[in-house]
């Protein structure tokens, strides 16, 4: 197997492809850490990066509000049962992969009180 083929396999393993401009595209995940896993019902977060993220999508079981994303700094909401782990995915150029950040704005309890959570203990991170 040639060296080029080996590189190609590695990129595929990392979730990369090439967009129409020929740049390598990568799929990134927004990962939530919550002290109330399974008991949160909605969240608002802001995704910021050097470029407009593409194909922004909620994972199965969650609903994404505020799409389609058209700005490099976009605020979206998610509803559904939120658990620790991936809640959102998007694509961007590989060169930007480590430049996206996510900021958690609000989280609400999923019970009938729909009370806002204290964000202590919560975090979101953008990961490959």
Partner 1 sequence: MRFPTPRAGAFAVVAVLLAVTVHAATSAAAYNSEEHKWIADLAMARVNQRSATLPGTMAFEDFPLARARYQNAKELAIGIRENGTAGYDSTEIDVQDNSYWTGYAQREGNFKFHIPDVAEMRSTRTLWVPAWDGTQDARFTFGELVALYGDYRRTVSCAPTNPSRCYLSQADSAAYRGIGGGRTKGRIFFEYGTDCFGFSCGYEPPDIPVRTYLAFIGSGLWPPYGTLGNAVSNTAWPEEWLDAGWWGDEMMRIANVNDWHWQQAAVAWYVGMHRMALKYALLARTDSRYWVQALHHEASALHSLTDLFAYGHVIVSRDRTSWEIMGDNSLRSTATYAWMENVIAMGGGNRDQGTGKVSVGATLPPLQTSDAPRQDMLESYQSGWGTISLTEHNYHDAYNAAGATVMNMKRQTFHIYGDYKMRGNNRLTQDIIEETVRASVQSLFDAYEANPPLDELVGNGSAAFDALLNIPVYVADNAGSYAGMWTSYAAAVNQLTGAGFAPDLACIIPLVDGRSAAPASRSSVCSTPSMMTDAAVVSELLHRDGSLGKGDQQGLDTQGNANGSYDAGDFLAWVRRTGATP
User: Nearest distance from residue 17's CB to partner 1, in Å?
Assistant: 26
- Total residue count of the chain as it appears in this document: 128
Tokens 């490959």 found at: 128
Least distance (Å) between residue 113 CB and partner 1: 6
Peptide bond before 68: cis, by omega within 30 degrees of 0? Answer: yes
Cβ-based nearer residue to partner 1, 61 or 67: 67
Q: Identify the H or E element spanning 114.
A: none
Contacts to partner 1 by CB under 8 A: 41-44, 63-67, 75-77, 79, 105-110, 113-116
The rounded distance, in Å, linking the Cα atoms of 52 and 25 is 13
Q: How far is the CB of 65 from partner 1 (least distance, A)?
A: 5
Q: Judged by CB, which is closer to partner 1: 79, or 101?
A: 79
């Amino acid at each position: 197997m040639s060296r080029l083929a080996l590189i190609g396999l590695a990129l595929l393993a990392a979730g990369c492809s090439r967009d129409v401009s020929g740049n390598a595209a990568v799929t990134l995940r927004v990962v939530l850490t919550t002290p109330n896993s399974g008991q949160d019902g909605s969240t608002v977060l802001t995704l910021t990066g050097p470029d407009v993220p593409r194909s922004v999508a909620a994972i199965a079981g969650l609903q994404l509000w505020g799409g389609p994303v058209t700005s490099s700094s976009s605020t979206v909401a998610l509803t559904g049962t939120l658990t620790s782990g991936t809640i959102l995915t998007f694509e961007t150029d590989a060169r930007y992969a480590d430049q996206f950040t996510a900021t958690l704005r609000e989280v609400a309890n999923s019970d009938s009180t729909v009370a806002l959570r204290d964000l202590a203990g919560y975090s979101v991170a953008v990961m490959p």
